[in-house]
Amino acid sequence: MGGGGDQDERMEESHGESSQNKVCMEEGEGPSLSHHHHGQDPPEPWFQNQYSCGPPRRLFSSPPANHKTYPSACGAEIRSDEQNFSNQIRKAEDKTVGIIKLNIPHIGQLRGKISTSYHYIANLPWRLAAKTEKTKRTSDVKFFSVYIDCNPESESTLWACDAIVEFRLVSLRNDHNQNFTREFRNKFNFNSNNWGFPSFMEWSELLNPDRGFVRSDKISVEARIVVQKVVGVRNNPQFDFSECQPHTSDAVLIIDGKRLHISRAYLSLYSRVFYAMFNSNFSEREMREIPVEDVVFEEFVELLNVVYPSHKPVSSENVEFLLELGDKFEIQYVIDLCEQFLIRSDEVSTITKLVWADQYYLAQLQHTCMRTFKQVSEIKALKLTEEYKNLSDVTKAALLEKIFKLLKD
């Protein structure tokens, strides 16, 4: 059900069917599916034909008469119309896949529901959850239950997501054949944003040492989510910089021997360094392949994904090297994004924020940090950190001024 709250006590029981045969159902009210048995074919899921997926296979009944070939920046001749449309269609038909992992310590003491943080797949928030259950719908037998939440906090009724979800209980014996998996397909929406298996595995079987799922009182559960189609939520475009796109890439950057196909004009709009490199009297202006030194390949790809229309968000995992690369290539857009993230975030310590504000001249960030200090002891505590010595004298003077102000007030 919509709203994102726990709905464990409101799940409907499927009468005339044992708990072991329930394949999948919503935590709240909703239809359940019966596991086929005794050689019978499974019933067709109620959501199976809600809508068809995929764009038309062809956009033109025949190619335009004036089509022609021309040499591309990728070093090969291409056709200017149908081939490019066909590439676009193939990309549109690609499915979005994501994996969420939940490691549960002290499994023998598991009582309530335990969940992962939200992971964004196809621009929707997903969360994997697990718990134990011993209720009427499990025939008063204790089971290990797993569920997936999709966009549970949304109050909109205008979105929907058709997805296949596979739950995997990971064998800790490094034997993939011993993994236990069950899957379902659902059309997630406001009224059906939480689905899973109330009777995923009997509790005694889960804890059985012979099954190999528990090691040091820990287990690992995974959910592999294949999104087929999303309605009402736009997914940001994805770019594969390892492949040449004839109309949108006209240069190659070489980093650690790996090639990245980029657009000179696009990078020039964001970066003063690349603008000078591509448009001034530098040797790189005439080069088809341009080496870039002193950067990490994966980090530079992340930078491109932030700058390009995919506009990947800044996070606590990438903010440090994005600041460094934004400064190195003079990309003010990236530096501003990082500063705004740090102002809002509580995942990065105040002393780290002050060091970065110092290093990259982030005045708004420094101002925000200064306003968080309410007591002199909070500022004195900074001196005990390893990072304090990295602060400039100017910032240390600002902290001293803040101490005087707090004492005066």
DSSP secondary structure, 171-202, as one string: -TTS-GGG-EEEEEEEEEETTB-EEEEEEEEE
Task: Give the lowest-confidence range in 53-62, 150-159, 253-262, 294-303.
Answer: 53-62
Contact of 221 with 146, CB cutoff 8 Å: yes
Closest to 270 in 3D by CA, of 221, 194, 335: 335
d(CA 60, CA 65) in angstroms, rounded, equals 12
Give domain status of residue 76, yes or no: no
- Quick one: average pLDDT of 317-330? 97
- Quick one: average pLDDT of 61-68? 39
In this model, does residue 156 exceed pLDDT 50?
yes
In this model, does residue 151 exceed pLDDT 90?
yes
In this model, does residue 87 exceed pLDDT 50?
no
Contact of 103 with 220, CB cutoff 8 Å: yes
Could you tell me the residue range of the domain that residue 19 belongs to? 8-31+96-231
d(CA 200, CA 181) in angstroms, rounded, equals 9
Task: Give the lowest-confidence range in 83-87, 171-175, 321-325.
Answer: 83-87
Give domain status of residue 13, yes or no: yes
Strand order in the sheet with 251-255: 258-262, 251-255, 289-291
Contact of 165 with 221, CB cutoff 8 Å: no
Give domain status of residue 372, yes or no: no
Give domain status of residue 128, yes or no: yes
Give domain status of residue 149, yes or no: yes
* Cα-Cα-Cα-Cα dihedral sign, residues 121, 124, 128, 133: negative
Give domain status of residue 258, yes or no: no
> What digits encode the pLDDT tens for the residues 269-322?
999 999 999 988 877 777 889 999 999 999 999 999 999 998 999 999 999 999
Q: pTM for this structure?
A: 0.56
78: number of Cβ within 10 Å: 16
Burial degree of 293 (CB within 10 A; 0-12, 13-18, 19+): exposed
Domain CATH number, residue 157: 2.60.210.10
The long-range contacts involving 382-390, CB below 8 angstroms and separated by at least 24 positions, are 382/350, 382/351, 382/354, 385/349, 385/351, 387/351, 387/352, 387/355, 388/351, 390/355, 390/358
Burial degree of 242 (CB within 10 A; 0-12, 13-18, 19+): exposed
Token pair in block for residue 6: 């726990």
d(CA 134, CA 27) in angstroms, rounded, equals 14
In this model, does residue 370 exceed pLDDT 70?
yes
Task: Give the pLDDT of residue 48.
Answer: 32
CA 168 to each of CA 37, 172, 197, 357: distance values in angstroms, whole numbers, following the listed order:
21, 12, 12, 43
Give domain status of residue 203, yes or no: yes
E strand spans, 190-238: 194-202, 219-231
Task: Give the pLDDT of residue 18.
Answer: 37
Contact of 23 with 182, CB cutoff 8 Å: yes
Give domain status of residue 157, yes or no: yes
Closest to 273 in 3D by CA, of 328, 342, 203, 343: 328
Task: Give the pLDDT of residue 74.
Answer: 59
How many domains in the chain? 1
In this model, does residue 186 exceed pLDDT 70?
yes
Band of residue 77 on the pLDDT scale cut at 50, 70, 90: very low
Task: Give the pLDDT of residue 24.
Answer: 63
Band of residue 58 on the pLDDT scale cut at 50, 70, 90: very low
